[in-house]
Amino acid sequence: MFKNQSDTDMTTGKHLVLVGSGLLVNKYLQCTAHPEIFGDGRCIYFKDRPLDKVGVYTVRQNPVLYQNLMASLEETVLQPFDPGGYHRIFNMGDDTGILRKKRLVFGGRLAFLIKDHMDRKFTRKFQAIEQT
């Protein structure tokens, strides 16, 4: 378990609470010591449930972070972040993969096809945003 540390933000002079190398945030992605400060991704420590440092959480946190920044400015209700679960699929480089989700682990062509499908779907989503 990480020990709590503190650090002072040199730009604001505010005392920030860090756990490990991450800013301690609540379920709204707000700094627990200063609710006007928000964070997401690999630079935070999620107070409700420590999260693995994987990109899927950053992607899921971004819309919540945007919503909460806007809500904070407009003084409306904040949206909680729900991490959900995730799985890992490693591309082995030879059109095979290894999939791991909780206790389920398998490898081969099917794992690669699942990863390829998910990656293409994710990429198409952001290409559609760029075209608008």
The token pair at 9 is 């933000």
What does the pLDDT look like over 6-49, one tens digit per residue?
Answer: 555 444 556 777 887 789 999 999 999 999 999 998 889 988 88
Global pTM reads: 0.68
What does the pLDDT look like over 65-96, one tens digit per residue?
Answer: 999 999 999 999 999 999 888 888 999 999 99
User: For residue 79, what are the contacts with CB-CB under 8 A and spacing of at least 6?
Assistant: 28, 64, 67, 68, 71
The whole-number pLDDT of residue 93 equals 93
CB 14 within 8 A of CB 33: yes
Would you kindly state where each structural domain of the chain is located, as residue ranges?
4-74, 88-131
